[in-house]
Amino acid sequence: MSKEEKSMANLPDFVGRADAFIELAIEYEGVWFPPLVKTHILDQLKTFEVREDDVLLATYPKCGTHWMMEIMSLMEHDGHVDKVKRDPDPAHFSDLSFAIPPDFNSSVMDILDKRPSPRFYISHLPSQLLPPQVWTKKCK
């Protein structure tokens, strides 16, 4: 069983513990991640097909990402608050690097591939781990 699989298997035992992040963290290319980030998903990012009309919100964690998502939702709906719908789709404004429950094998990218343009998504990844096409396709 890999360290990643052990992390997920032991996750219920760590809920609420202050040391959970330290014991369950996963290292990938010199960067440490919480257990909901899976290495196979980070590998998949390298071949993620970026579209020129994609909108990527790249921020540091805990610095107003949710507020920016709300502003971008309003922009998407021409500023009409009543038109802003709360989309239950987990890929709408979801972090590219996170695995999707319940099995944590699928990713936001799997859902984004099926979404019509323009697609909105976020990332807290350092620039060197973003999909390479972010730089060549000139997404927003």
Q: How far apart are CA 123 and CA 64, in angstroms?
A: 13
- Known catalytic residue at 124: yes
Count CB neighbours of 19 within 10 A.
8
Structure tokens at 137: 């396709």
Task: Please name the helix (run of DSSP H) or strand (run of DSSP E) that holds residue 46, with its range, or none.
Answer: none
Residues 6 or more apart whose CB falls under 8 angstroms from that of 100 comprise: 90, 106, 107, 108, 110, 111
* From 40, 66, 80, 124, the catalytic residue: 124
What is the torsion angle, in degrees rounded to the nearest 10, for the CA atoms of residue 73, residue 79, residue 80 and residue 86? 10
Q: How far apart are CA 83 and CA 12, in angstroms?
A: 39
From the centroid of its chain, how far is CA 128? 15
What are the catalytic residues?
124
